[in-house]
Each structure stands twice: as structure tokens, then as C-alpha cells.
Amino acid sequence: MIQGDRPYTRNGEFLPGQQWPPGMTRVALSVEYNGVPYHGFQAQRTGVATVQRTLEAALSKIAAEAITLVCAGRTDAAVHATNQVVHFDTLAERRDRAWVLGTNTHLPDTISVRWSRVVEPQFHARFSARCRTYRYLIYNGAVRTALQHDQFTYFHRALDLEAMRAGAATLLGEHDFSAFRASQCQAKNPVRRIDRLDIARFGDLVILEVRANAFLHHMVRNIAGVLLAVGCGDCPPGWVAEVLASRDRNAAGVTAPAAGLYLVAIDYPARFGLPPQVPGPHCLPFALGRLPGLEGGGDGDFRGGG
């Protein structure tokens, strides 16, 4: 399995000079999950429940061998996903139907595999991704709801969406987002590029949709916290630019709760042949970039989100 000085690594990035092992197949999956019962996506040494460990255990039963996997983006505790993409390498030969329906029989109701595809060795769930999109859902009614309370963030004060949009415009483009990263963030470089930040209302729901090349730890939740402060009138729209320029996390205020956050799309090059995605969650019938009340917009179908 070695050609020159470049050994193949299971699930790793497949680089020029490497030799693909005979009989090995790389499989990509789209996974939906309710993050509330889990301590995030990534497996942890402490043995607490995570999406990764739960999914790996179910896949290992279908493959009849130990399966480990790589995800497109690690989500925190209680954060949801409608289109998390993972990949794994396996010697098992199974149809897509087995990877989807068979795996789901071994999963709890809070995790569901949506589709499966055999992909070329050059596909990597994390490194092949061109951008990622999150949606943050705020239930903005006068009285809190007892239904789906762990699927939205509740905020009872009236929100001025035009003020929030004015503040959000400052964040578009490439910036140092140190003021919007968690203190425990391990990223070496705080510079990220936000391509789109839309805000819309759908009944009592206020929706933030953020698309970027990558995200820092708690970045979306910290952006949501800042924009909520602007929307309710506690801070002017210009404060967002001040927070960004400060590069100081202490300037950004409160981190918004995890309950309203969803990883909804991962964008991959079309050459990988992944299915078109429906961002969701299911209560929102809107395509990416086409939230209600927004003029124009839309990027067509992404590939790779399920």
C-alpha cells in the first residue's frame, strides 16, 4: 500500500504518488441528526455519546468490520444537521440501499442516513468541500412554544430585521473573525470568508442563513448573538463593525444558544456526482439563498448535502 514515501492512510486525503489498496472502496453518506442527546459530532475519549461514535457503531455492523469516518464539519453539543457529509473507506461490498436502510435500523431516531454514494478516492468530506452553510432559527413569538423547543432559539423581544441586515453587511467578505470565535477555538488562522448572510422572517420564525468557506468554533452562534442585540435595539448596526475590528471575543457579547443552529449544506465540485441537496430543516421549504422576502438571490442546486 506504499508507493514512494507516500503511504495510504485509511479515510485520509488521497494524494498523487499514493497507491489505492486493492478491494478498498470510499463511501460518502449524508446524515441528518438532532444534536440534543449528543456531546457534539466528534468522538471523545471520555466515552460520552456523540454522533460519530453512534454512527460508526451502526456502520460497523453493516460492514462486518470496524468503520471509522471523517465529517465535513464538526458540530457542537446540541447543534443539529440536515446535511452533514461523511466518508469512510471499507473492504465491505454493499449496495447504497444497505448503507442507508441497513445502517438506519441500527441507529436511534435522532440520527438518519439520507443517502449513500461510492466516490472516487480523491473525494474527502472535509478537504473537498468548497463552502458550508448554516441556518440559525429563532422563534420570535410573544410566548414561548412547548413544541420543538429544542429545535429553535426562543427570543421574545421584537426584532428589527432591517437593522440586523445592516449590521450583517459588515461581516460579508474575508475578515479576521477573532471577535466571533470561542476562547477554546483551536484554528490556527482566524481569517474566514463569508459569502452570504441572509436574514428573513417566516411567520414567527426568524432565519439567519450563513454561507462561508469555513467556520471558527462558535462563529455562527456568536454572530447570531451580536445580531440579536442589534435587532432588539440594544446596540446600533454600526456596533457590528466595531466588534469585528476589535478582534476581541469579549467585545461580542453573548453566545446564542445551540438549539437553533443547523448545518444545512456542504458544497462540493460537481465532478464528484453527489445528489442535490434540500437544506431544510423540514419546516422550511426554501432553497439555499431563497429565504422569504429576499430579492433575487439563489445559487442553484449545491451538490453533496442530501
**Residues tagged in the binding site annotation:** 134
Q: Measured between alpha carbons, how far is residue 7 from residues 16, 67, 69, 112, 288 in Å?
A: 11, 20, 18, 33, 39
Residues 52, 71 contacting (CB under 8 angstroms):
yes
Q: CA 92, CA 63: separation in Å to the nearest integer?
A: 5
| Torsion angle defined by CA atoms of residues 48, 50, 56 and 61, in that order, rounded to the nearest 10 degrees | 70
Say whether 76 is catalytic. yes
Question: What b/e string do you get for 207-230 counting C-beta neighbours within 10 Å, with b at 16 or more?
Answer: bbbbbbeebbbbbbbbbbbbbbbb
Name the catalytic one among 76, 150, 204, 301. 76
CB neighbour list of residue 297: distance below 8 Å, 6 or more residues apart: 196, 198, 289, 290, 291
- 277 phi and psi angles, rounded to 5 deg: -110, 150
Which residues are known binding-site members for substrate? Answer: 134
- 162 phi and psi angles, rounded to 5 deg: -65, -40
Judge if the upstream peptide bond of residue 22 is cis by omega within 30 degrees of 0. no
Give the residue numbers marked as catalytic. Answer: 76
